[in-house]
């Protein structure tokens, strides 16, 4: 909830109390440099013990509610016919309006099953923007991904409210070019992750559905960040300003043929699901569920998590749950802009995204500016962010880097985990780093896996810039921080 203070300032306020805590520690800069060196300058390879604030992701790292935790105690561990599943199915029916539900162990498992059931070699999947795993599964099934976003989508400084909109003219052009029968589905990703957590408008979804339906193309909705997209629709689309989030969910889902989601985000658990009202689609996917995931009533999830997801789906329609991260991200982004740090605007869902190309203009994309920035942020603060740039795109068939549209260092805010002082600290250290940006150098790969290389790839700095950064840091803050 946003609250106006007597000095006129508006701040986000947590509408929950902390009941359980996990200790954290702040290793000093010198130790942080040693840790990032051990991690091959890849923040994925850091250990929790070396991290002060973990803003790598909001996936599976959210604070669960007391009701979610309580529900886990009544989980029914039956292999088949678990009552926990039926409570999940009821929640999906009530909140999202789908009759058929398949749990899966996480979002990418849903993407795998959808690609298996719908994508044939030579097919095209249209997207408002790709996500790393959604693209990988389409390509592994022999398809290609075509992103058809609008002109503002990649402009990090634009304040356009709906950068996640799918471009309808490009959609029509793709139908003409490939033919509708070659388009396996059109995928709309809620609160588009890789371009800065940017939402699409409900009006856009409605138009995409009309065009897709006219050509018999299924509309697949990636709802991993569904509650944030609903929150932004209400905030930014005047027609919905006075609607409840529950109403916005139902309205969005009217246009959706297949919903899938990573339950690790909006529902604050570890799991995922696929839901639909089309029996034929359900029948096409279901046989593969026990092959890759588990029986139809648990899908590879722990039944405790199935229970908690049922509660999480009901809770995500609560304004204070859906608004928890967007309001803090808005504050985070505003404070960084005040300090001159280049960030993606408008503030989106899931994270504050720092624009590495504008932060480190002296680094060409071949030196991985977003990866260098993520490593430098860690050295300067102990905060773990994630590279979302060229390192997150795999090489092409010729072995060349595919330069990403955007070079971002993403500081994710897991839901209900961090406090205002954590945000203030991070803002301060990012502002300090920005003042010392000239010290940050580039990276090169020393070990590089062939697929999703950002997870396990190891890199090295092009010179000893890490040590230079620590020297400057210690000159300002001493050796203890």
Please tell me which residue in 388, 410, 415, 429 is annotated as part of the active site: 388
Q: Is 429 a catalytic residue?
A: no
- What are the φ and ψ backbone dihedral angles of 101, each rounded to 5 degrees? -135, 135
Contact 439, 382 (CB under 8 A): no
Q: Is 98 a catalytic residue?
A: no
**62 is written with which tokens?**
């959210």
Give the nearest distance from C-beta 59 to ligand F0G in angstroms.
4
Please tell me which residue in 87, 163, 187, 265 is annotated as part of the active site: 265
Q: How many helical (H) and strand (E) elements, i.e. helices and strands, does the chain have?
A: 19, 16
- Under the rule (CB under 6 A), what is the footprint of ligand F0G? 57, 59, 106-108, 131, 133-134, 189, 193, 222, 224-225, 262, 264, 272
What does the alpha-carbon distance between residue 263 and residue 110 come to, in Å, rounded to a whole number? 11
DSSP 45-94: G--GGG-SEE-S-SSS-SPPPHHHHHHHTT----SSS-HHHHHHHHHHHH
Give the nearest distance from C-beta 147 to ligand F0G in angstroms.
14
Which CB atom, from 175 or from 184, has the smaller least distance to ligand F0G? 184
Residue nearest to ligand F0G (CB): 107
List helix spans (H) across 243-388: 245-253, 279-285, 289-292, 303-315, 319-322, 324-338, 356-359, 369-381
Give the nearest distance from C-beta 224 to ligand F0G in angstroms.
4
Give the nearest distance from C-beta 362 to ligand F0G in angstroms.
28
Which CB atom, from 193 or from 393, has the smaller least distance to ligand F0G? 193
In angstroms, the Cα distances linking 64 to 17, 58, 102 are 12, 12, 22
Residues facing residue 183 across a β-bridge:
124
Which CB atom, from 175 or from 188, has the smaller least distance to ligand F0G? 188
Contact 87, 305 (CB under 8 A): no
What does the alpha-carbon distance between residue 95 and residue 247 come to, in Å, rounded to a whole number? 9
Burial string for 188-225 (b: 16+ CB within 10 Å, else e) reads bbbbbbbbbbbbbbbebbebbbebbeeeebbbbbbbbb
Which CB atom, from 363 or from 387, has the smaller least distance to ligand F0G? 387
Q: Is 170 a catalytic residue?
A: no
Q: Is 131 a catalytic residue?
A: yes
Please tell me which residue in 222, 257, 355, 394 is annotated as part of the active site: 222
Which CB atom, from 62 or from 193, has the smaller least distance to ligand F0G? 193
Q: Please report which helix (H) or strand (E) contains residue 421, including its range.
A: helix 420-435
Please tell me which residue in 10, 77, 79, 339 is annotated as part of the active site: 79
**287 is written with which tokens?**
């046989």
Q: Is 79 a catalytic residue?
A: yes
Which CB atom, from 175 or from 391, has the smaller least distance to ligand F0G? 391
Three-state secondary-structure class, residue 207: helix
DSSP 132-184: HHHHHHHHHTT-EEEE-B-TTTT-TT---TTTTPBPHHHHHHHHHHH-GGGEE
Q: Is 297 a catalytic residue?
A: no
Show Cβ contacts of residue 431 under 8 Å, excluding neighbours closer than 6 positions. 336, 339, 340, 341
Please tell me which residue in 86, 132, 170, 284 is annotated as part of the active site: 132
Q: Is 480 a catalytic residue?
A: no
Which CB atom, from 408 or from 443, has the smaller least distance to ligand F0G? 408
Give the nearest distance from C-beta 15 to ligand F0G in angstroms.
24
Please tell me which residue in 98, 131, 281, 298 is annotated as part of the active site: 131
Give the nearest distance from C-beta 152 to ligand F0G in angstroms.
20
Neighbours of 19 (CB within 10 A): 9
Give the nearest distance from C-beta 195 to ligand F0G in angstroms.
11
Residues belonging to the active site: 79, 131-132, 222, 265, 388, 454
């Amino acid at each position: 909830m946003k609250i106006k203070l007597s000095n006129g300032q508006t701040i986000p306020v947590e509408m929950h109390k902390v009941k359980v805590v996990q200790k954290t520690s702040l290793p000093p800069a010198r130790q942080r440099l040693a840790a990032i060196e051990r991690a091959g300058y890849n923040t994925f390879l850091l250990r929790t013990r070396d991290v002060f604030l973990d803003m790598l992701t909001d996936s599976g790292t959210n604070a669960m509610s007391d009701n979610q935790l309580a529900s886990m105690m009544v989980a029914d561990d039956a292999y088949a016919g678990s009552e926990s599943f039926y409570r999940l199915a009821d929640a999906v029916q009530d909140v999202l309006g789908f009759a058929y539900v398949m749990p899966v162990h996480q979002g990418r498992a849903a993407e795998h099953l959808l690609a298996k059931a719908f994508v044939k070699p030579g097919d095209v999947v249209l997207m408002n923007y790709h996500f790393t795993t959604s693209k990988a599964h389409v390509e592994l099934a022999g398809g290609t991904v075509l992103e058809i976003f609008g002109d503002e989508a990649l402009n990090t400084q634009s304040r356009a409210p709906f950068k996640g909109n799918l471009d309808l003219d490009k959609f029509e052009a793709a139908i003409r070019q490939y033919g509708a029968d070659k388009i396996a589905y059109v995928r709309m990703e809620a609160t588009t992750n890789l371009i800065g957590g940017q939402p699409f408008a409900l009006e856009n979804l409605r138009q995409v559905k009309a065009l897709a339906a006219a050509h018999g193309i299924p509309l697949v909705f990636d709802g991993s960040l569904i509650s944030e997209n609903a929150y932004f629709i209400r905030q930014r689309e005047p027609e919905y300003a006075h609607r409840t989030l529950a109403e916005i969910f139902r309205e969005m889902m009217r246009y959706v043929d297949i919903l899938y989601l990573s339950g690790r985000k909006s529902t604050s658990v570890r799991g995922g699901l696929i839901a639909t009202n089309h029996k034929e689609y359900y029948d096409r996917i279901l046989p593969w569920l026990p092959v890759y995931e588990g029986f139809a009533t648990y899908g590879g999830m722990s039944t405790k998590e199935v229970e908690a997801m049922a509660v999480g789906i009901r809770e995500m329609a609560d304004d204070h749950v859906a608004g928890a991260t967007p309001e803090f991200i808005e504050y985070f982004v505003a404070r960084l802009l005040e300090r001159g740090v280049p960030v993606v605007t408008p503030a989106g869902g899931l994270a504050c995204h720092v624009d590495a190309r504008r932060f480190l203009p002296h680094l060409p994309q071949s030196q991985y500016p977003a990866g260098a920035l993520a490593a430098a942020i860690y050295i300067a603060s102990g905060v773990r962010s994630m590279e979302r740039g060229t390192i997150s795109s795999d090489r092409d068939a010729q072995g060349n880097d595919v330069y990403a549209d955007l070079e971002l260092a993403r500081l994710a805010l897991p839901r209900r985990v961090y406090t205002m002082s954590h945000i203030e600290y991070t803002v301060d250290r990012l502002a300090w780093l920005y003042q010392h940006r000239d010290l940050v150098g580039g990276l090169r790969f020393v070990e590089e896996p062939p697929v999703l290389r950002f997870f396990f790839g190891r890199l090295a700095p092009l010179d000893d810039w890490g040590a230079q950064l620590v020297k400057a840091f210690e000159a300002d803050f001493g050796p203890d921080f």
